[in-house]
Amino acid sequence: MESEQIPSKLLSHFETIRRQEHEQISELLDVLGRVDGLPDSQMEQVRDALFHTNHPYLMVLVGPFGSGKSSVINALLGEEIMEVGPIPTTDRIVILRHGDDVQRSRTGDVETVFHPSPLLRNLSLVDTPGLESVFKVHDEMTHRFLHRADVVLLVMIATQVLTASNLEALQQLKNYGKRMVVVVNQVDVLEPEEREQVREFVLEQARLQLGFEPQVWLVSARQALAAQQETPRDEIAWDLSGFADIEEYIKETLGDVERVRQKLETPLQISQNVTKTALGLVKEQQAALDAHRKTAENIAVQIEQGRRAQQKTVDETLAAVEAAWNEASARGAEAISDLFQFSRGLRLFFGGLGEIIGLGGLMRRFGGRTRVESVLDEHRVKETFERIPPLVDKLGPRLESRDLQDIDDLVDYTRAAVKELPPNLANKVIGRIQTPLRYEARFIRDVRGRLDDLLRDSERFEVGRLDRTLRNTLVLLTLWEILALALMVVVGVTAFSGATPDAASLLLVFALGLILVVGGLALVPIRGWFLRRAYLRRQHANRDEYLRLLREAAHELIAYGVQLRQDATAPFTRMVESQSEVLETLRDELQAQQHALTRIQGGLAALEPDEARRHIE
Ligand SMILES: Nc1nc2c(ncn2[C@@H]2O[C@H](COP(=O)(O)OP(=O)(O)O)[C@@H](O)[C@H]2O)c(=O)[nH]1
Ligand SMILES: [Mg+2]
């Protein structure tokens, strides 16, 4: 049985839209499933909408057990696909859908039977077990199908029409507001004249007892099936079976373009409404989250402030260390200048003399201190260097205590924030907000050995070498001066032996001598200048290395402290962050769904019903 009257082109347009709808709404269901707090009833509505887009037209058969529901379905399909019999066989709902081959599948209480009958292309049939279960509210499944039905056929046995339960069923279906038809089956057991009496009886009783007259079909499923099983179909018997009425009704209903459109429009409208509700919810949740996001931002700001404060402490210490180091090396340089002063040349000369004859060593042994040492002491070089370690010693504990204090504060702050969370957000806080169980205070300690080495190297610098250089210089100077004097004597003796010395030669010799002596003395500050330069270079290199090591260790410590702060507050901040993302994604997806649904609605509206009717007529 094909519905030839419906223009197939229009039908295929509707079919395309139906598929789009089905896809879109099943996508929408996924998205809606992720919206927190969307009432179940709303989800149910969309599931319903999805169901409708999956079933072009749903005809549900209800009626007492044995009235012939399964037989009616078999007759319509022309095949004994449903089990039929006087004994209750099935207690479940069976839905018949179009499929290329006969196939059965079952999910929960519902069995789906696929059948290739062309009738099923535009119509799904639902077989229910018996009247008893149909109107029990707890029988969820039956209720759901009744609720989704486009038409309900109340099947009754011709000899037992309008029993109490049939009447009640009629009343209930009426209350439901469903389109319904009374199907009086097994009329083959009645005499032809009795059949119209039955119809009259049903109409009258319904009018009297329920106040309305339903549509009534008198049929014989047995005769109809027999007619269907003839090839070609026995049209006369088919007509007599009353099934021609059912066929006509189906054709008319399915050919009603406005109905088809309505059938496609309703799920879209429902989906739009629910999507709007969901979007509202998501936006509300975003607004609610905003306050908590501020808290998370505050936490981030506090962490950054903590980091800056720590950085400042480090910078101060580094500056103090650098200043002390600079001062110490300046003092050291001064000491060197002092040691190698020109004016000291003469004194040094005698010192050198002492060295040569071994007195210097003796003096050093007795005095216990070298000249260099005592000059460095005079300039308080070591003392200045010694100001550095306490600065470093203080840095670690200062940073650490600030870290611990900050973390405590942050933990208190974050815990209070978590307490403020509504349950749905509080549930999403994964992990505990707590101060870390361990605090690693090793970063500065780790470099301490290397720092001390550098410092010691700088303090001790040159005492030995300076001492040696100074001695060598003095020895050199003394030798030089002796040589110069000796030269003067030799030249003088040679020049003045025998002859009377003339004033000019005398002056020449004297000047030569003076140049040699003074030149020798000038060697000392020149030597000192080079030494001082090397000293400062070395000091600066040590200082820079010292500061670099300290800075790096402090940076590690600061980064570690920041990490601890972040870890301690992470359960909250992570929740806020991920929740923001989730909500934003949801909002975008819901908006995309809205647009997609609107697009499909537009496509549906573009199929003009008037034009469609013209096609039909
Ligand atoms: N005489 C007669 N018996 C029928 C007709 N339709 C069904 N029956 C019989 O009624 C009994 C119950 O039919 P079935 O379709 O299983 O009823 P269901 O329980 O409502 O599904 C079966 O024994 C059928 O053979 C009919 O049109 N005429
Ligand atoms: Mg049955």
Q: Is the CB of 24 under 6 A from ligand 1?
A: no
Best residue for ligand 1 mutational test, from 67, 84, 132, 217 (most atoms within 8 Å of Cβ) = 84
* Ligand having the closest approach to the CA of 243: 1
Which residue has the CA at smallest separation from atom 14 of ligand 1? 68
How many Å lie between the centroid of ligand 2 and the Cα of residue 115?
17
Beta bridge partners of residue 125, listed in sequence order:
59, 96
Closest ligand 1 atom to 88 CA: 19
Confidence at residue 553, expressed as pLDDT on a 0 to 100 scale: 95
Is residue 520 pLDDT above 80, yes or no?
no
Instruction: For residue 289, report the distance from its CA to the centre of ligand 1, in Å.
Output: 62
Q: What is the mean pLDDT of residues 527-545?
A: 90
Indicate whether residue 579 lines ligand 1 (CB < 6 A).
no
Task: Give all strands of the β-sheet with 110-115 in edge-to-edge order.
Answer: 103-107, 110-115, 93-98, 124-127, 58-62, 151-157, 180-185, 215-218
Atom in ligand 1 nearest the alpha carbon of residue 189: 1
- When pLDDT is averaged across residues 588-597 and rounded to a whole number, the result is 98
Q: Is the CB of 220 under 6 A from ligand 1?
A: yes
Ligand 1 contact via 86 beta carbon (within 6 Å)? yes
pLDDT of residue 617: 44
Question: Which residue would you say has higher pLDDT here, 406 or 136?
Answer: 406
Residues having C-beta closer than 5 Å to ion ligand 2: 70
On the question of pLDDT at 490 being above 90, the answer is: no
The tens digit of pLDDT for each residue in 363-378 reads 454 444 567 778 878 8
In this structure, the residue with its CA closest to atom 19 of ligand 1 is 66
Q: What is the pLDDT of residue 602?
A: 93
Count CB neighbours of 520 within 10 A.
20
The overall average pLDDT reported for the chain is 86
- Asked if residue 56 has a cis previous peptide bond (ω within 30° of 0), the answer is no
> Would the pLDDT of 466 be above 90?
no
Q: What is the pLDDT of residues 492-510, one digit of tens each?
A: 777 666 666 677 777 877 7
Which residue, by CA, sits nearest to atom 3 of ligand 1?
Answer: 186
Return the higher-pLDDT residue of 268 and 485: 268
Among the bound ligands, the one closest to the CA of 61: 1
Residues 6+ apart with CB under 8 A from 239: none
Expressed in percent and rounded to 5, the helix, strand and coil fractions of the chain are 75, 5, 20
Q: pLDDT value at position 367?
A: 47
Q: H/E element holding 184? A: strand 180-185
Instruction: Report the alpha-carbon distance of residue 526 to residue 503 in Å, rounded.
Output: 34
259 — pLDDT class (breaks 50, 70, 90): confident
CA 200 to ligand 2 center in whole angstroms = 27
Q: Residue 2's pLDDT band (boundaries 50, 70, 90)?
A: very low
Beta carbon of 87 within 6 Å of any ligand 1 atom:
no
Kindly state the average pLDDT of the residues 107-118.
90
pLDDT reading at 488 higher than 70: yes
- Cis amide prior to 214 (ω within 30 degrees): no
**Average pLDDT over every residue of 524-532:** 83
DSSP 159: G
pLDDT mean over 188-207: 93
pLDDT digits (tens, 9 = 90+) for 209-257: 889 899 999 999 999 999 999 989 999 999 999 999 999 999 888 888 8
Q: What is residue 389's predicted lDDT score, i.e. its pLDDT?
A: 95
Share of the chain above pLDDT 90, in %: 54
Tens-place pLDDT, residues 312-350:
999 999 999 999 999 999 998 998 888 777 666 556 666
Asked if residue 188 has its Cβ within 6 Å of ligand 1, the reply is: yes
Beta carbon of 85 within 6 Å of any ligand 1 atom = yes
Write down the pLDDT at residue 77.
95
Closest C-alpha to ligand 1, atom 8:
68
pLDDT for the residue numbered 461: 58
Query: Is 186 touching ligand 1 by the criterion CB < 6 Å?
Result: yes
Distance, CA 68 to ligand 1 centroid (Å)? 4
* Cα distance between residue 31 and residue 404, in whole Å: 44
Region 475-487: mean pLDDT is 80
- Which pLDDT score is estimated for 365? 45
Q: Is 221 in the pocket of ligand 1 (CB under 6 A)?
A: yes
From CA 53, how far away is CA 305, in angstroms rounded?
58
Most ligand 1 atoms within 8 A of CB, residue of 60, 61, 71, 132 to mutate? 71
What's the pLDDT band for 3 if we cut at 50, 70, 90? very low
**pLDDT at residue 4 in the model:** 44
Please give the torsion angle defined by the CA atoms of residues 244, 246, 252 and 256, in that order, rounded to the nearest 10 degrees.
-160
For ligand 2, the distance from its centroid to the CA atom of residue 194, given in whole angstroms, is: 26
pLDDT (0 to 100) of residue 576: 94
Greater pLDDT, 230 or 143: 230
Lowest-confidence segment of 280-289, 517-526, 565-574 by average pLDDT: 517-526
Q: Is the CB of 128 under 6 A from ligand 1?
A: no
The pLDDT, as a whole number, for residue 7 is 60
**Amino acid symbol at 99:** G
What pLDDT score was predicted for residue 310? 97
Give the pair of three-digit tokens for residue 214: 């339903």
